[in-house]
Amino acid sequence: MIGPALPSDDLGELQAWHAACRDAPLAVDMTRGLPSAEQIALSHAMLSLPGPTPFDSGDGQDWLNYGGQQGIPQLRALLAPLLLGVPAAQAAVGGNSSLALMHAAIGLAWRTGLPGHAPWAAARQIRFLCPVPGYDRHFAICRDHGIAMVPVPMGADGPDMDQVERQVGQDPLIRGMWCVPRHSNPCGATYSEEVLRRLATMKTAAADFTLFCDNAYAVHDFAPQSSAPPGLYEACATAGNPDRALLFGSTSKMTIPGAGIALLGGSARLLDWWLAAQRACTIGPDKVNQVRHLRFFGDAAGVCRHMQQHGHMLQQRFAQVLKVFARRLSALQDVHWSRPSGGYFITLWVPPGCARRVVRLAAEAGVAIMPAGTTHCSGTDARDRCLRIAPSRLSPSEAAQAAAIIAGCVLLARAEMSSVPGRDVSNTLKGVP
């Protein structure tokens, strides 16, 4: 049930509808892309693993003792190609947070420099390219290191490469760029082969320019894919720029978020650089958790079967949201939304000047969504129209109800704006079913 049909554009009727919603708020949280309890239950069997059975790490390391800094070879052989697109020898395993690895890698580049290059701290100002809409936690890492952020627009097949190439070709202080190549956060875009090729081959003013690739959704398709684009590392290596990409991934949204495994990968030179630094801060990772994951998945086919279950559950929730948006908002020429084939987010573009108002109205009706501007590296969306919608944690019925509330709040915010002299937008309304 997605609620009664809303009035088309009558301000009074929409206000009365919203008042009724405030009197009986829905009380759901769509701020973050969290796995649902149903998804996490798929991995409950891990809680009894790895068990007491001995395990041969294959490299002479005792998995119950210190050592094995790079991670258990069998787990790297399983996950490095799937999540990072690199061979097992070119990946290292960390804790449960890929964000922690990203933060640490940037901090290392800042303090010591990337292999063969001066520390970033020696420059007067480091800049990163940030696709917008983008991931707020990437922006937070930049702010934490004092890195200036340069926005570049995101499209349906990746970032605007004309802008990217122009910026990195002219500015030697641009040392990095954030990338989420598959099911990007929050638009759900998957980079095209052409975008990956241009990222890998483009001329850069900074010799140590690096693509920080967050492969958080590498295997998070709603339905099995017949083919996948080449990985970013593969594209860079083929172009003769193997050191250009530093890749990150994790199992946090694959198994149990509180007990996941993160991985870092790249060229052999970048991996040596990373491991040399890690010797100063750790004697070895949590190998017990690595064995747990290895025994749970078994092999690549096991990962595929497991992720197909995740994809089916997520698709149910996303389908409900998209159905409601199509029913209630498709007649509006100034409203559109992404239609992802995987990942955890939908981006909703509302009429210019309405996003913050929609967030406020939705909160009053019991639906929490991320503040407007969160998807922009400046923290402000100049057009005030971009919203990130995260249905994953809700049940399908809750997702439908929440989407109906959001759609109604879009209509109300739009009607309020139309009532302001000189801000009439009614000519773009073709009639709401």
Contact between 105 and 117 under an 8 Å Cβ cutoff? The reply is no
Q: Tell the residue number behind the tokens 């996948």, with chain if given.
A: 228
**Digitized pLDDT (tens) for each residue of the chain, 433 residues in all:** 444 556 567 899 999 999 999 999 999 999 999 999 999 999 999 999 999 888 888 888 888 999 999 999 999 999 999 999 999 999 999 999 999 999 999 999 999 999 999 999 999 899 999 999 999 999 999 999 999 999 999 999 999 999 999 999 999 999 999 999 999 999 999 999 999 999 999 999 999 999 999 999 999 999 987 566 669 999 999 999 999 999 999 999 999 999 999 999 999 999 999 999 999 988 888 999 999 999 999 999 999 999 999 999 999 999 999 999 999 999 999 999 999 999 999 999 999 999 999 999 999 999 999 999 999 999 999 999 999 999 999 999 999 999 999 999 999 999 999 887 655 554 444 333 2
The pTM of this model reads: 0.93
Token duo for residue 214: 């967050």
Across 81-231, where does the E strand assignment appear? 91-93, 127-132, 148-155, 158-159, 174-179, 210-214
DSSP letters, 216-277, are TTTT-BSS--S--PPPHHHHHHHTT-GGGEEEEEESTTTS-GGG--EEEE--HHHHHHHHHH
DSSP string, 292-315: HHHHHH-SHHHHHHHHHHHHHHHH
pLDDT number for residue 432: 31
Place of tokens 């003792």: 65
Domain boundaries, the chain: 11-30+305-428, 49-298
Domains 11-30+305-428 and 49-298 share a fold: no
Fold type of domain 11-30+305-428: Aspartate Aminotransferase, domain 1 (3.90.1150)
pLDDT of residue 8: 64
- Rounded to a whole number of angstroms, the distance between the first and last alpha carbons of the chain is 16
Residue whose entry in the numeric block shows the structure tokens 């009053």 = 364
What CATH number was assigned to the domain covering residues 49-298?
3.40.640.10
Q: What is the pLDDT of residue 431?
A: 34
Q: For residue 89, what pLDDT is reported?
A: 97
